[in-house]
Amino acid sequence: MASMEHATVYSAVTDNYNPGLTEKEPTDSGIKPVGPVSEEGSNGPMEVKIGESHHVDVKLKQKFSIWSTLGVSYSATSAPIAIGTYLSVVVGVGGSPVFFFGFILCSIFAMMICLVLAEMSAVYPHSSGQIFWTAELAPKKYARGLSYVVGWLASAGWFCWTAACCLITSQLIWALVAICHSSFVILPWHYWIIYLLCALFALAINWPFFKIYPAFLKMLVVFINVGTIIVMVALLVRAHPKQSAKYVFVDIVNYTGWDSNGVVFCLGLLPGLTAVTAFDSAAHLSEEMPRPDRQVPQVMIGNAVLSAISGLVMILVYMFCVTNTENLLTPVGGEPIAQLLLDSLDSMGLTIVTMLIFILVLLFACATLMTAFSRVWWSFARDGGVPFSKNQGTVSSRSRLPVNSLLFGTVGVALIGLIELGSAIALNAILGAGTAFLFLSYGVTILAALMGGRRQLQKPHYINLGRPAGLVLSVLSVIWVAFITVWLCMPYYMPVDGDYMNYTSPVFAATAMIAGLNWVFHSRKKYTTPERVMDHGVLLTSE
C-alpha cells in the first residue's frame, strides 16, 4: 500500500469526501486494516477472503499507468500483426474485398460500442467492468440477473480468447518449423506442447515476473508498431508483382457453397470483429490505476482508433502483396500468413525474421489476455458469481495479485487445449465463440443501460455523449451486436457436415448450462451485484 500513501481516501460508508485522511499502513496509532484478513497457515501467504464482502480488503498493486494499460489493450488485439493471421478465415470466404470493406464496417460499429462503454467507464470505474455497469444501470429488478449473465459472458469470452491466442502462437511456431524443415511431420501433440508453454509463459509474466510487467507493456506498444513497420516495408519492397486494385477491392472469392455474395460478406466479418474489440480490457485494471475515471476511457478510445487505423493499413499491405493466390489455399504449416511471407519476401532470412515478429507479438498477447481474464474472473468471484468463489475471489497479500484466478486460468486453458489431441474442430469452436461472448457482454450491458435510462449517467464525467448521441449510439450498438451474433453462429461452408459445422452454438449451450447449474447450486444464494469501490476514480476504504 506504500504506493498509495498520499492518495485521497473516501469513506465506503458515507461516500463523503475526507480531505484530511490519507491511506496508511496499519499501525499502533489506531488506524485499522481496510477489512478482515485471514491467514492460511502460519508460514503460507496471507490471503483475504473477498467473496463475502465487497470491500477491497487487500488492494491490487497500482502498477498500471495509462501507457502500460494501453499496452495491455493494444496487445490483446495486436491488430496490425494479428490481422494477418485471419487470412485463414477470408481465403475462400469473400477474399480481399470482404476482408477490406468488412473491416471498415466492423470498425465503424466498434467505435460506437467503444464510445458508449467508455462513457460508462468514466462514470463507474470498476474492475468488474461491464458486470458492474450492468448492475448499476439496469432497472433494479433485472440488475442482479443481467449482471450475472454478463459476468459469465465476459469471463467466457476472455477465457476463449486466451486459449485462442495460445493456439495461434503454437500454430505459427510450427509453421516456422515447417518453413525451415519441410520434411518434419507435425503431430497434434506437438501443437499442445507449445500451446501449454505459451500458457505457462502468460502465468509467469502475470505472477512471479509481475514487477517488470508494466515496463514490459510500455515497450510492447513500441515493439508492435516497430514490428508492423518492418513487416510492412519488407513486403512492399520485396513483393513482386503486386496485386491489382481490382483483386483487392472488387474480386470476391466464394468457395463457401453459399449462393449469395451478401451472405459471404457477412460470414467474412470475423477479422474486423476480432481486431477492433476488447474494449473492456482497460476497465478490468481500474483498481490498479491512479485515475481510472479518466485513464480507462482514454485507453479504450485510443486503442480502438489505433487498432482500426493500423489494421486497415496492414490489410491493404497484405492483400496487395499476395504473389501466389493458389498457394494460400494449401499453405505451409496450415498458416496462410506464413505462406504469404514465404512467397512474397522470397528470402528465407526475411521470412524467419518477420515470422518471429508475429510469434513474439502473439506470445506477448497471451500474457495480456491472461491479465484481462484473471481480473474479470477474480472480480466476478469476489461477488459470488463463480464456483469456489471464496478461493477464486482472493488477493494474495504477499504479491497483491489474484494468484488463484491466474492459476485457474492457466489450468483451464491447458485442459481445453487437450481437445486438440482429439478434435481440432471442437477446439476451434471454443476459440471462435470468444468474440461472440465478448460482444454479447457489451450488447447486454448497453441494453441494460437503455432499459434503465440515461439519467444515471448525467453526473459530470470525463466523457459525456449527451442524451441524443448517447441514445442513438446505444441503439445502433445493440442492433449491431444482435446482427453479428447471428452470423458468428452460421456455418462457413455448405452443405453442412461434421467437418464444416460451426460449433459456436453448442459452445454457447455448454456455457449456459454451466452458468445455469452454478446459479442453481451456488450463486442463487451467494451472488450479489458488485458494489462501488471507487469515487471520482479513487478507491473507497472502510474503517
Q: Could you read off the pLDDT of 73-95 as tens digits, one per residue? A: 888 889 999 999 988 888 889 99
Q: Are 369 and 378 in contact (CB under 8 A)?
A: no
The C-alpha angle with vertex 284 and arms to 278 and 287, in degrees rounded to 5, equals 155
Q: Rounded to two decimals, what is the model's pTM?
A: 0.85
Buried residues in 109-122 as b, exposed as e (16+ CB within 10 A): bbbbbbbbbbbbbb
Residue 2: predicted pLDDT: 38
Query: Do 149 and 444 form a contact (C-beta atoms < 8 A)?
Result: yes
Ranges 110-124, 234-248, 360-374, 487-501: which has the least confidence? 487-501
Distances (CA, A) of 296 to 35, 68, 206, 361: 26, 11, 20, 23
Q: What percent of the chain has pLDDT over 90?
A: 61
Decide: 442 and 117 in contact? Cβ < 8 Å: yes
Angstrom distance (rounded) from CA 394 to CA 45: 12
| Distance set, CA 483 to CA 109, 115, 446 (Å) | 11, 19, 15
Strand order in the sheet with 394-396: 38-39, 46-49, 394-396
Give 383's contacts (C-beta < 8 A, 6+ positions apart).
51, 54, 128, 131, 151, 389, 393, 527, 528, 529, 530
Check residue 31 and give its pLDDT. 34
488, exposed or middle or buried, with CB in 10 Å at 0-12, 13-18, 19+? buried
Return the pLDDT at 36: 34
Query: Once rounded to an integer, what is the mean pLDDT over residues 194-206?
Result: 97
Average pLDDT, rounded, for the chain: 85
- Look at domain 2-541 and name its CATH class: mainly alpha
Phi, psi values for residue 10, rounded to 5°: -110, 150
Confidence class for position 458, pLDDT limits 50, 70, 90: low
- Count how many residues are written for the chain: 543
pLDDT value at residue 422: 55
When pLDDT is averaged across residues 102-124 and rounded to a whole number, the result is 95
Tell me if 35 sits within 8 A of 13, measured CB to CB.
no
Name the pLDDT band for 216 (thresholds 50, 70, 90): confident
Mean local confidence (pLDDT), 347-372: 96
- What does the alpha-carbon distance between residue 107 and residue 309 come to, in Å, rounded to a whole number? 9
Task: Please report the pLDDT score of residue 218 as a whole number.
Answer: 84
Per-residue confidence (pLDDT) for residue 190, from 0 to 100: 92
- For the chain, give every domain's residue range: 2-541
The mean pLDDT value for 48-59 works out to 45
For residue 6, is pLDDT > 50?
A: no
490-539, pLDDT tens digit by residue? 988 888 887 778 888 889 999 999 999 999 999 999 999 988 766 655 55
pLDDT at 378 over 50: yes
Return the pLDDT at 457: 78
pLDDT tier for residue 304 given thresholds of 50, 70 and 90:
very high
